[in-house]
Structure 1
Amino acid sequence: MSTTQKADSMVMPADIVPLLEQAEAEEMSEFQSLVVGEERTALSMASVRLRGGVCMSVGNDPDEYWNKALGFGFEAPVTTSLVSDVLDFYTTHQSRVAVLQFAPSVMPTHWERIAREFGLQRTAGVIKFAAPVETVIAAGRSAELAEGLSVEAVRPEHAANWAHTVVSGMGMKENCFLPGSIGTVGHPAWRPFGVRDGDGNYVAGGNLRIHGPVATLFAGATLPQARNLGAQGALVRARALAAREAGCEWLFVETGPSTPERPNPSYRNMLRYGFEIAYQRPNWVWKRPLTHGVSNSISAGSRSAAVS
């Protein structure tokens, strides 16, 4: 894995962006694939691989979080025709809203024109963090977990209780998050961990997904009554140790931006655990046009094909 030097002296892989984006795309796609049978049907779930990326749709999603398209721009360039194909997928599946996520490094020079054609609205998106596994392990050595709490790998018989805790701690509806989380327990690519109190109840949880030489921290959450007791620090360290055991060299994680007006504790925690900012990736939000007949997104794609 080739490397490049950042101004703050941490050596980052030269291919950090495709590693981050591909790991996340596979993570999201695999997570949704773990929802099967009647639950998948009830949630109106669908997905497709497209030009190196993935599009995922959850029709009955009250959080409007899981309709995501990402991982594009590395196997094939981001073009008008690509965006048209992505939005055709969401139009076909009658999605009300979808979020398109592109790393800044793959954006074409005429992206603003494409965004206007399809009515895509930019929002803040996420901060992508990266760190060597050993750096995170070292940063976590001083973390203290409050007396009476313990961190452990989740066993299959505890999967449902753990998953309910994570979903509740994140403040999300159960939708596909609950069955997907349950499905990760025992899966060879995932390493779920939980924090339990003295009565054996889960009060926090988090997941880890292995992707070759890298791993991603996924869905860390703590119930309100157990916050500020060291649970997240313990979970980060436990997952970093699991990543090292799996042979991973780098850890990735994302969280929302932090501003003076809207401080984000997770952002500060990532810096405390040894992570450094790789880049910020905005969200491009599409909403289904409320028109009859052919959607605006499809017709816009036809008009714009010449500039792709």
Structure 2
Amino acid sequence: MSGGLAAATVLEKVEAEMMYRAESGAPAQVLAHMGMASARIGGGSVLVMRRDVTEFWNKALGFGFDEPVTAELIGRVCEFYREHDAPMAVLQLAPAVLPDDWDDIRTRYGLEPGGAVVKSTHDLVSIDPPKTDLRVGEVDVDNARQWASTLLRGFGMPEEGLAEMTAAVVGSPGFRCYAAWDGDEIVAVGGAFVLGDVVELWGGTTLPSHQRRGAQSALLATRLLDAKAAGCRMAVVETAAEGPGERNQSFHNVLRLGFSPQYERPNWVWRPGRQVR
């Protein structure tokens, strides 16, 4: 895998902006009910959801490009989480931005390894057409709530609060949302977020009842074709890294569609109460 600073700048910034807009753009009542807050610190996106039971939405990413990663920067991020009573947080930093003293910094702030994701890209030159017996297309605001429900159920997440937040991205600037239908039922979903000439693909999941029918490959292909038609030059996607003896079907789906892995990015988990030396 490659993973230089120039490439990481593009790949990290588009994901960070997508996450920032998705969470900060939630309806006001959802922001209050879920205990949500957001900030831009050191050029990165720092996102809090106090009532997050999934350990997914408390996330900080996009660092190391507007200013270097230092102990002072990580301290500001951790302090933001403490101020907002976050139950935990995941800091995601590309390998290219980690300083030589990263082990000292992460030890100081009690950051523990917590899995990793693989960043992969597609040049949008050659795209296989979608193949599935399901109907695949873009979702409009009338179907936003059903789309959000399918996304959350597919990932095993509760719908309370999260469904309203997720549905709000449908029709929002930069976002395009897609689904696969079996009759009138949405059974698989995927999102796209365009920033400049780069598209971030996110939220791909299929309900267990409709897996192995080509839904995710078709949704990936459809999003790639639409992004190319819109003038994008590159697509980016994240999938969970495979551990020893593991096989992540999502990762192999994107490889089959022509994506190329760029680098593996570790997660660093922060929890309150860990002593700072």
Residues 115-264 of structure 1: pairs in structure 2 closer than 5 A: 115-135=106-126, 138=127, 140-141=128-129, 143-146=130-133, 149-175=134-160, 177-197=162-182, 199-264=183-248
TM-fit CA distance, 1:14: 7.8
Could you report, residue by residue, the CA deviation over 1:207-264 in whole angstroms, capped at 9, with x for unpaired residues? 1000101001110110111101010111011111221122110000001112452211
TM-fit CA distance, 1:188: 2.8
Structure 1 residues without counterparts, runs of 5 or longer: 1-5, 291-295, 301-308
Larger radius of gyration: 1
TM-score by length of 1: 0.86
Structure 1: 4+ residue segments shifted above 6 A: none
**d(CA) in 2 for partners of 1:209, 1:222:** 19
**d(CA) in 2 for partners of 1:213, 1:15:** 15
Which secondary structure state, in structure 1, belongs to the residue aligned with residue 157 of structure 2? Answer: coil
TM-fit CA distance, 1:144: 2.1
Which secondary structure state, in structure 1, belongs to the residue aligned with residue 168 of structure 2? Answer: helix
Which secondary structure state, in structure 2, belongs to the residue aligned with residue 133 of structure 1? Answer: coil
**d(CA) in 2 for partners of 1:270, 1:175:** 30
Amino acid at match of 1:240: L
**d(CA) in 1 for partners of 2:242, 2:93:** 20
Kindly indicate whether the alpha-carbon contact (under 8 Å) linking 2:30 and 2:165 is maintained by their aligned counterparts in 1. Answer: no
Closer/same/farther in 2, CA of residues 259 and 125 from structure 1, 3 Å limit = closer
Q: 1:93 aligns with which of 75, 84, 96?
A: 84
In structure 2, what is the equivalent of residue 47 of structure 1? 38
Which secondary structure state, in structure 2, belongs to the residue aligned with residue 39 of structure 1? Answer: helix
In structure 2, what is the equivalent of residue 58 of structure 1? 49
Task: Count matched residues.
Answer: 277
**d(CA) in 1 for partners of 2:162, 2:266:** 23
**d(CA) in 2 for partners of 1:58, 1:83:** 19
**d(CA) in 2 for partners of 1:73, 1:59:** 26
Identity, in percent, stands at: 36
Structure 2 residues without counterparts, runs of 5 or longer: none
Amino acid at match of 1:152: G
**d(CA) in 1 for partners of 2:110, 2:208:** 38
TM-score by length of 2: 0.95
Which secondary structure state, in structure 1, belongs to the residue aligned with residue 176 of structure 2? Answer: coil
Task: Please identify which structure carries the higher helix content.
Answer: 1
In structure 1, what is the equivalent of residue 99 of structure 2? 108
**d(CA) in 2 for partners of 1:282, 1:94:** 24
Kindly indicate whether the alpha-carbon contact (under 8 Å) linking 2:87 and 2:271 is maintained by their aligned counterparts in 1. Answer: yes
TM-fit CA distance, 1:184: 1.6
In structure 2, what is the equivalent of residue 82 of structure 1? 73
Could you report, residue by residue, the CA deviation over 1:254-276 in whole angstroms, capped at 9, with x for unpaired residues? 01112452211011111101111
**d(CA) in 1 for partners of 2:187, 2:172:** 22
TM-fit CA distance, 1:29: 0.2
Kindly indicate whether the alpha-carbon contact (under 8 Å) linking 1:34 and 1:179 is maintained by their aligned counterparts in 2. Answer: no
Amino acid at match of 1:37: A
TM-fit CA distance, 1:174: 2.4
**d(CA) in 2 for partners of 1:219, 1:53:** 21
**d(CA) in 2 for partners of 1:78, 1:266:** 31
**d(CA) in 1 for partners of 2:161, 2:119:** 24
**d(CA) in 1 for partners of 2:160, 2:15:** 20
**d(CA) in 1 for partners of 2:148, 2:93:** 29
Kindly indicate whether the alpha-carbon contact (under 8 Å) linking 2:4 and 2:96 is maintained by their aligned counterparts in 1. Answer: no
In structure 1, what is the equivalent of residue 268 of structure 2? 284
**d(CA) in 2 for partners of 1:289, 1:188:** 38
Closer/same/farther in 2, CA of residues 33 and 176 from structure 1, 3 Å limit = farther
Could you report, residue by residue, the CA deviation over 1:87-143 in whole angstroms, capped at 9, with x for unpaired residues? 0000000112111111100100011011111111012210111111223xx2x22x4
Closer/same/farther in 2, CA of residues 13 and 274 from structure 1, 3 Å limit = farther
Question: Over the residues paired in the alignment, what is the CA RMSD in angstroms?
Answer: 1.8
